[in-house]
Chains A and B, each alone.
Chain A
Amino acid sequence: MEKIQKFLLKNSAVFASVLAVIFAFLVVGILLLSSGRNPVEAFGYFLDGAFGDMFNFANTVSRVVPLLIAAIAFIIGAKCSVFNVGIEGQLLLGALASAVVGYIIELPKAIHLPLTLLAGTLAGGLYALIPGWLKVYRKVNEILSTIMLNYPAFFFNHYIVLNVTPLEGVIPATPFVNETAKFINLVPGTRLHAGVIVAAIVVVAAYILLQRTTMGYEMRAVGFNQEAARYHGIPVEKRMMLAFFISGCLAGLAGAVEMAGVHYRYLDQFSPGYGYDSITVAMVGLLHPFGAIFSATLFGALKTGILDMAVYTEIPRQLVTLINGIVVLFISAKSLVQTQFTQVFKGRQSNPSSEEK
Chain B
Amino acid sequence: MEFDLQDILKDIFTLSLGFATIRISISIVFASMGEMITERSGVLNMGVEGIMLMGAFTAAVTTHFLGNPWIGLLFAGLAGMLIGLIFAFIAITVKSDQAITGLAVYLLGVGLSGYLLQVFFKHGGNTPKVETLPIMHLAFLENIPIINDIFNDQSVLMIPALLLPILLYILFYKTPWGTWLRATGENPKALAVVGKNPITIRYLAVMAGSFLAGIGGAYLSISQTSLFSERMVNGRGFIALSAVIFGNVKPAGVFAAAMFFSFMDALQYSLQTVIPDQYFPREVFMALPYVITLLILAGFIKQSKGPADITNPYEKESR
Contacts and interface: CB of A to CB of B under 8 A. Distances in A.
Contact of A83 (B99, B241, B298): B99
B297 A158 contact: no
A252 to B, nearest CB: 19
Contact of B112 (A83, A276, A325, A334): A325
Contact of B298 (A140, A143, A158, A322): A140
Contacts of A159: 281-284
A226 interface: no
Contacts, number: 139
A322 B290 contact: no
Contact of A140 (B96, B99, B112, B301): B301
B46 A143 contact: yes
Interface residues of A, number: 46
6 contacts: A83-B100, A140-B297, A140-B298, A316-B114, A325-B109, A325-B112
B168 interface: no
A143 B119 contact: no
B107 interface: yes
A151 B290 contact: yes
Interface string B15-48: 0000000000000000000000000000000100
Given A139-B301, A140-B298, A155-B283, 15 more contacts: A143-B102, A144-B241, A151-B287, A151-B290, A152-B287, A152-B290, A159-B282, A316-B115, A322-B112, A325-B108, A325-B111, A328-B100, A332-B100, A332-B103, A333-B101
Given A143-B103, A144-B242, A148-B235, A322 B115 contact: yes
Contacts of B242: 144, 148
A280 interface: yes
A321 B110 contact: yes
Interface in B242-286: 242, 245, 281-284, 286
- Closest 4 CB pairs between A and B? A316-B118, A325-B108, A322-B111, A321-B111
Contacts of B118: 316-318
Contacts of A325: 50, 104-112
Contacts of A283: 100
A155 B241 contact: no
Interface residues of B toward A: which range? Answer: 35 or more
B117 interface: yes
A323 B293 contact: no
B290 A280 contact: no
Contacts of A262: none
A279 interface: yes
A326 interface: yes
B94 A333 contact: yes
B174 interface: no
Interface string A149-172: 101100110110001000000000
A85 interface: yes
A322 B116 CA distance: 9
Nearest to B93: A336
A138 interface: yes
Given A148-B238, A159-B283, A321 B107 contact: yes
B232 to A, nearest CB: 14
A145 interface: yes
B287 A156 contact: yes
A159 B283 CA distance: 6
A332 B119 contact: no
B107 A318 contact: no
B10 interface: no
Contacts of A134: 294, 297-298
Interface string B289-311: 01101100111011000000000
Contacts of A314: 122
B74 to A, nearest CB: 23
Contacts of A158: 283
A319 B115 CA distance: 6
Interface in A26-43: 31, 35
Interface in A104-152: 134, 138-141, 143-145, 147-149, 151-152
A151 B104 CA distance: 20
A141 B294 CA distance: 10
A332 B114 contact: no
Q: Which has the most chain A C-beta neighbours within 10 Å: B107, B110, B284, B293? A: B107
B302 A280 contact: no
A147 B294 contact: no
Contact of A144 (B46, B97, B107, B110): B46
A149 B103 CA distance: 16
Nearest to B91: A332
A324 interface: yes
A352 B196 CA distance: 34
Contacts of A155: 283-284, 286-287
Contact of B99 (A138, A143, A276): A143
B162 interface: no
